[in-house]
Chain A
């Protein structure tokens, strides 16, 4: 084959390749354009905005302030003066951070445990379809309706407290009006609502476990608990990994339940990162500062995700 011929062949292949590539891109385009317009560009703008002071209105009113916004939200002056305790006990960002991390640390394992237990229970029982629907139902219901109902249930003389009282425990405080219980009411509602969704994911994973494995374990004389611990649980690792990544991210972004049930209160006891961002941006109209807080949130979520992906190997099925 002469050089010219060879080039011709390559050209021909290139044409096909180009066509295929174009088709591939055209399939990717709608998603990517949406991502670029509604996510990528705003993220880049927010990064830039966090270095400016801007109270909205005309763009000409943007004022470059460098890292001032970060200094303000981290209360650097006060922290230098009074120590780190000031940041976590007095500064808005410190309190929001503390609340969000606490919420995440409790909610993620609790939701995973509940979802897994439900999935195991509903995997093979009679009438499973009915119960699966029941537990999945909160996930497709309106968040506002759920939160309003729970607010009523958690009132001072509400059904939840009456059940607690019936157990002989003297507890007569409204959950959402009490600064220690308020965050637990948020956790309770989040877990209750989301466990159905993650249950479905676990159910799918459970169906995917080859029956030979459990059969082999039975033949080897493993009891139910041993089977669960050494066969089922390891097989569920990839799902658990996926679920925990998704949950951690969504927990850090908690907003709706808080906004409806407590509005960050009482005091600042349920102030979360996103409610803080919302307050700064839309109530106080300080977009620069709000963007700086979003960057803090972005960095945290990014770090947590990187750590989780770093340990992905441990979670993969060997």
Chain B
């Protein structure tokens, strides 16, 4: 009897082992490696929309901390990770992955795919004419402002056509040290302080000449001296994130990427902040067209080691295209696919500022790439960022720092 029982138990266990993969076969699971999966609204919207239109497929996000994304994902890929899709945070990540053989070429799938809505931005994900990823978000920088603070100060709102000098003046005007109000806020990144130099579409950060950054460093230091923004040193030490800083309600303006729109809408909904805000185009330098900005692409690629490349293609092609774009835009994020339909979805999102200027800011006149795809760009990034931190911490003057950038980058190519 005992023997029978044990044989029976063993048999049940064996059957249950067999049953699990059999069950899994029915429901397909697509694993997608991304960052901040729990706090990024568009990822939730995309997952819901895709699963609704593709019954039987489940999207499973693998969440990686955003600041470590490049390092961790590269390590995963090195280790032979078989997750199906990897999202791409920086263009040079994809260029590296392609060189390392981790990115599956899309030439077997994309023969009939319509790239027109990407307006040419997709070439940033192509190597030697072969496409390796599909862009699904294209963020450019805009100027956020706190309407309540402008109203309280009796000042005119910023406009879509404003020079950097006018902006600086406005920032000083809005500053009220007694009430602890800052006219503007600069996050510690290079991009937040001086990347504006590339908005003219001529300069890039890899062109080996950094003299064009001088104007923006001087502008920043002038504002910092006037107490119109928090000091770099304190921001660095406290690690204060721009999202929390602006949400605090004592910052009048914030130049930041468009992605912050969806965060702010979310903050308004959950009560983290409850002031009125709007967006306008970033200020422009003299001689540069109003509404010029710079930005970055976010995309998705198929892992070469994925065992369901067909399904992965189905997903990334959907994600970048019209339907995926609508899902992305539905929570206030800006998709890479641009069409009138998508633009109207973007401005009709609940919580998006209703004024005409904010709507107009959705259509920048030109968007340059934050960092171009260029030779030795990761070395250049390191050098420029190191000198940036020296200038920002006032260890060297902007002139000295820029001189160092010029010299050190030139040495790379000797």
Contacts and interface: CB of A to CB of B under 8 A. Distances in A.
A267 B386 contact: yes
A151 B239 contact: yes
B132 interface: no
Interface string A258-287: 000000111111000000000100111100
A264 B383 CA distance: 12
Interface in A162-208: 173-179
B395 interface: yes
A140 B387 CA distance: 36
Contacts of A279: 382
A57 interface: yes
B78 to A, nearest CB: 5
Interface string B217-237: 000000000000001111011
Interface of B: 70-71, 74-75, 78, 96, 99-102, 231-234, 236-239, 378-379, 382, 386-387, 389-390, 392-393, 395-396, 408, 411
Contacts of B102: 57
Given A55-B96, A57-B100, A283 B238 contact: no
A283 B382 contact: yes
B75 A177 contact: no
Contacts of A237: none
B236 A174 contact: yes
Contact of B386 (A148, A265, A285): A265
B237 A58 contact: no
A267 B387 CA distance: 5
A57 B100 CA distance: 4
Nearest to A284: B378
A285 B100 CA distance: 10
Contact of B237 (A56, A61, A154): A154
Contacts of A132: none
A175 B396 CA distance: 16
Given A56-B100, A179-B393, A266-B389, A174 B74 contact: no
Given A56-B78, A282-B71, A285-B96, A152 B237 contact: yes
Interface in A227-271: 264-269
Nearest to B98: A57
Contacts of A90: 408, 411
Contacts of B74: 56, 282, 285
A78 interface: yes
Interface residues on A, range: 20 to 34
Nearest to B407: A90
Interface of A: 55-58, 61, 78, 90, 148, 151-152, 154-158, 173-179, 264-269, 279, 282-285
Contacts of B239: 148, 151
Contacts of B237: 151-152, 154-156, 158, 174-177
Given A56-B74, A78-B411, A283-B382, A155 B234 contact: yes
14 contacts: A61-B100, A61-B101, A155-B237, A156-B233, A157-B234, A175-B237, A177-B237, A178-B233, A179-B395, A265-B389, A265-B393, A268-B386, A282-B75, A285-B100
A173 B233 CA distance: 8
A179 B404 CA distance: 16
A177 B386 contact: no
User: Majority SS of interface residues in chain A?
Assistant: loop
Contacts of B70: 283
Contacts of B379: 284
B273 to A, nearest CB: 23
Given A179-B390, A179-B393, A55 B236 contact: no
B386 A57 contact: no
Contacts of B411: 78, 90
A201 B211 CA distance: 56
B376 to A, nearest CB: 9
Contacts of B408: 90
Nearest to A174: B233
B87 to A, nearest CB: 18
A78 B412 CA distance: 11
Contacts of B389: 265-267
A260 to B, nearest CB: 10
Contacts of B382: 279, 283-284
Contacts of A58: 100-101
A178 B101 CA distance: 42
Contacts of B387: 267
Given A155-B238, A156-B231, A177-B232, A267 B390 contact: yes
Contacts of A266: 389-390, 392-393, 395
B101 A57 contact: yes
A148 B238 CA distance: 8
A266 B408 CA distance: 16
A-B complex: 6 closest residue pairs judged by Cβ atoms: A57-B100, A177-B233, A174-B233, A267-B390, A266-B393, A155-B237
Contacts of B236: 174, 176-177
A179 B102 CA distance: 39
A279 B78 CA distance: 17
Contacts of A156: 231, 233-234, 237
Contacts of B100: 55-58, 61, 285
A289 B185 CA distance: 39
A157 B231 CA distance: 11
B74, B236, B411, most chain A CB atoms within 10 A: B236
A151 B238 contact: yes
A29 to B, nearest CB: 26
Nearest to B232: A177
